[in-house]
């Protein structure tokens, strides 16, 4: 199948408290690509490449973009997002799946493997921001609260600067200013607000059940970008890998290498998915 012309099936699934937008491409073994707060758009180029020989599921997490929630003031927890993924997988009846989760989506993937291991043959958690696993968790928790308060006070640019500083990610000033520009798409602004108000805190405060993950039949892979040196999510990923007693798996690029250069990211992902 030519990935440039691979048809995309777009549909919605009603789940408790939300209407999930999801997209399916290709044929073959099922692979799920999931982020949080990133939605399906960020994974579309990689999904199109994978669809040459896989069935690829992408989705907008609840409360983001096209996945509408009944109560916009309710938090989006990793457990809820894992349940959403489980319902999507059951609905498609094409599993068990391999799941690549990035950032907050990596936390969703771990929560899915923990709660529904029968649905996941391999969970690739790429840079999950599990700050509760670190020795300086109290300081990081306070920093997260500070950036949320800054955002809610109306200083979106200040919040992003604090977010990036805590993540130890350095971007040009003009890029950061563009991230917080007032003339962005209204949906992007709404998604940003939902992330700060209802996703960031429950995602970073989630603590995995290490014993459950170690004993589950699901193969757990902890991914780190080769260009993510000294960033917060490199630290959290190494801490989780150490807890699980496994070595991290390196991927090309940085925190969102799959989106920035999917053609380079793909061979490494294929190799990881092909391992027994």
Residue 182: per-residue pLDDT: 80
17 and 73 inside one domain: yes
Tell me, yes or no, whether 221 and 86 share the same domain: yes
Domain of 12, in residue numbers: 8-133+206-274
Which one of 148, 176, 199 terminates a domain? 199
pTM score of the predicted model: 0.95
Q: Would you say 46 and 258 are in contact if contact means Cβ atoms under 8 Å apart?
A: yes
> Is the model's pLDDT at 276 over the cut of 60?
no
Q: In the listed set 155, 180, 199, which residue is the last one of a domain according to the structure? A: 199
My answer on whether 102 and 22 are in the same domain is yes
- 55, 16: one domain: yes
pLDDT in tens, 5-50: 679 999 999 999 999 999 999 999 999 999 999 999 999 999 999 9
**Is residue 131 scored above 50 in pLDDT?**
yes
Domain-embedded: residue 2: no
User: Domain for residue 3, yes or no?
Assistant: no
Give the pLDDT score at 4. 53
How far is residue 228's CA from residue 237's CA, in Å, rounded to a whole number?
11
Q: Using CA atoms, how far apart are residues 70 and 78, in angstroms rounded to an integer?
A: 18
User: Residue 228 maps to which CATH number?
Assistant: 3.40.50.1820
Asked whether residue 29 falls in the same domain as residue 102, the answer is: yes
User: Residue 14's Cα: distance from chain center in Å?
Assistant: 21
Residue 3 scores a pLDDT above 50: no
Predicted pLDDT at 220: 97
Residues whose CB falls within 8 Å of the CB of residue 57, separated by 6 or more in sequence, listed in order: 22, 23, 24, 30, 31, 32, 33, 88, 89, 92, 97
pLDDT by residue (tens digit) across 138-192? 999 999 999 999 999 999 999 999 999 999 998 888 888 888 888 889 999 999 9
């Amino acid at each position: 199948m030519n990935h440039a012309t691979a048809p995309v099936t777009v549909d919605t699934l009603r789940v408790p408290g939300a209407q999930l937008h999801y997209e399916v491409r290709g044929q073959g073994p099922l692979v799920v690509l999931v982020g949080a707060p990133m939605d399906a758009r960020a994974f579309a180029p990689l999904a199109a490449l994978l669809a040459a020989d896989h069935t690829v599921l992408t989705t907008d997490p609840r409360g983001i973009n096209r996945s509408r929630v009944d109560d916009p003031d309710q938090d989006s927890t990793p457990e809820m997002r894992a349940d959403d993924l489980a319902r999507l997988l059951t609905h498609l009846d094409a599993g068990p799946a391999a799941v690549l989760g990035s950032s907050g989506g990596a936390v969703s993937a771990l929560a899915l493997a923990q709660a529904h291991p029968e649905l996941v043959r391999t969970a690739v958690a790429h840079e999950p921001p599990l700050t509760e696993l670190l020795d300086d968790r109290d300081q990081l928790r306070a920093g997260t609260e500070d950036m949320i308060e800054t955002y809610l006070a109306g200083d979106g640019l200040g919040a992003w600067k604090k977010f990036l500083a805590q993540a130890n990610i350095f971007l040009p000033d003009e890029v950061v200013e563009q991230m917080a520009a007032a003339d962005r798409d209204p949906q992007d602004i709404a998604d940003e607000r939902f992330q700060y108000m209802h996703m960031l805190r429950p995602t970073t405060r989630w603590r995995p059940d290490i014993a459950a993950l170690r004993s589950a039949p699901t193969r757990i892979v902890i991914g780190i970008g080769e260009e993510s040196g000294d960033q917060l999510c490199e630290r959290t990923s190494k801490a989780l890998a150490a807890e699980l007693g496994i070595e991290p798996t390196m991927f090309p690029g940085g925190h969102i290498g799959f989106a920035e250069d999917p053609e380079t990211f793909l061979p490494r992902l294929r190799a990881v998915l092909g391992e027994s």
